[in-house]
Structure 1
């Protein structure tokens, strides 16, 4: 007796699910509500974080009266470029941006150099009192910067470094947190690579330059951006050590502008937006590397 094809298909047992194919969990009300709540919370957090930046940038297109108008109005009635044009035409503001950017680049390069050398020494070299010195270095991470401002000011004063670009760059170049971060990365580099380089005739310094530095892009990105942001956003230390308008830093300039020309808030918002633009652009360019490296450091 021949069984029809359709009947045989109905009678055939269902094929078992392959172990390699995960079963899809059915959507439940609880899962949907959880996803909705997470989305709403994320939108609220992002809005709260971006709203001040958006208002600052848009306020630069308003007139003096619109910035302080009551009731609050987010968008201007007429979009004006005069504030941005006027602040960019100010030679003092442009000079401040140039000096701050130049100093930030020098500070970043020096920070990468000093901290990577120290990290390599603590990760791979053997020398006297190594563990004791490492404990001392790590201990400085727990000292608030504000507690040593006065002693640091006395030191740079005796070294005749006031009103120079060096007083902004040299004191903060070495950072225990950066040394620790880079050292953790170096500890995970296989020693077999180092041994192969030694067989090829490289010394300790050559191994660092030819092996460790090319492999150090992940921690260098994080440390470099952090150093740049620290220098760019510095305010207290420049106010204490810089009195010459020719060396004013961008945050110092904006604070002086606000105290001397408090009625021109729209112009101040335009200048603040231009001052924040390099930091935002830098983060947008390297955001993937920053997040990936932070995750990697957390796993290690």
Structure 2
């Protein structure tokens, strides 16, 4: 049986015109998207850039009118002076120590709680879980006074413990890590049990090594929460040698209000660790956020 075929004439001019229109629309969309992205990036980076450059200005140039972005004379002495201030360096080291301890404690406590809620069966589990989740909707300011009374009676005021311990347990962190643990196949846990591992060994040898994705996100969140804390430290810390960095900057501003260039230099150095951490872990943060969105 023979098949008869014939050539179908194609309007090449019309096809070419459609391709040109499609390519034109695609390029216009790409250019518009790039412009919007650049505008958002500049808007986000402008405050940081201004703070960095303001650290090189004199006392009067920071708030000079009309606005002047760059200084007339770059005053490098501001950064040298703030770096040479032993009180500032002590505050940075003290804050860094507290932030690291707080992050480690928060990850330990909340990951154990998340494992318990994800994998263990115990009485009143659902009820306790509801109570834990409910605390996410309670603003921290509403329990500030009661928390202060508790730490006062425990004689924790003016110590590193009062900054590290009270906020370590977090319902949001427990929820985030628990969701990740629920995605781990139960067959891995069953295989570990057949090998003679107990619950704690399973957590240490199986779940903990797999917890890098949520630990990166939650660890950075905990670090930033401690580093940027202000209200709780001013209530519980009174010794200047135990100030956190935000507390030090607020005191600096009130006592030396005219030295705004020096204040901007200190603020830039205080923000540097946070920026460095984000630059190091930005891929993990973005990847984990995408993963959480897909789940």
Displacement of 1:234 in angstroms is 0.2
Corresponding residue of 1:106: 101
Q: Identify the range of structure 1 (127-136 vs 67-76) with the bigger mean alpha-carbon deviation.
A: 67-76
TM-score, normalising length from structure 1? Answer: 0.90
2:282 to 276, 283, 287: 287
**1:61 CA drift (Å):** 1.0
**1:80 CA drift (Å):** 2.2
Moved over 6 A (4+): 11-14
Cα distance change, pair 25–230 in 1 and its aligned pair in 2 (3 A): farther
Partners of 1:192 and 1:183 in 2: CA distance: 17
1:206-221 to 2 correspondences below 5 Å: 206-221=201-216
Distance 1:53 1:120 in 2: 39
Q: Deviation of residue 70 (structure 1)?
A: 1.8
What SS does the aligned partner of 1:237 have? helix
1:93 corresponds, among 67, 88, 111, to: 88
CA–CA separation in structure 1 for the residues paired with 2:20 and 2:292: 33
* Equivalent residue runs for 1:251-290 within 5 Å: 251-290=246-285
The residue number in structure 2 matching 1:182 is 177
SS in 1 for 2:60: helix
Among 233, 240, 244, the residue aligned to 1:238: 233
For 2:276 and 2:106, how far apart are their aligned partners in 1? 21
The superposition leaves residues 120-167 of structure 1 with CA deviations (integer Å, 9 ceiling, x where unpaired) of 000001111000000000111111111111111111111111101101
SS in 2 for 1:66: coil
1:79-127 deviation line (CA, Å, top 9, x unaligned): 2210001011111100100000000000000000000000000000111
Cα 1:176/1:91, change in 2 over 3 Å = same
How is 1:10-89 mapped onto 2 (pairs within 5 angstroms)? 27-89=22-84
Long gaps (5+) in structure 2: 1-5, 10-18
Question: 1:13: how far off?
Answer: 9.4
1:298 alignment counterpart? 293
Residue 42 of structure 1 and its aligned partner are, at CA, apart by: 1.4
Unmatched 5+ stretches in structure 1 = 1-10, 15-23
Distance 1:193 1:232 in 2: 37
Q: Which residue of 1 aligns with 2:117?
A: 122
Aligned residue-pair number: 281
CA deviation after TM superposition for structure 1 residue 289, in Å: 0.5
Report how far residue 32 of structure 1 moved.
Answer: 3.1
Q: 1:36 offset after TM fit, Å?
A: 2.6
Go from structure 1 to structure 2 and tell me whether the alpha carbon gap of 1:102 and 1:25 turns closer, same or farther (over 3 Å shift): farther
Counterpart CA distance in 2 for 1:291 and 1:166 is 32
Distance 1:71 1:130, change over 3 A: same
Pick from 159, 176, 189 the counterpart of residue 164 of structure 1.
159
User: Which of 192, 201, 212 is residue 196 of structure 2 equivalent to?
Assistant: 201
Q: Alignment RMSD, CA only?
A: 1.7
TM-score, normalised to structure 2, is 0.92
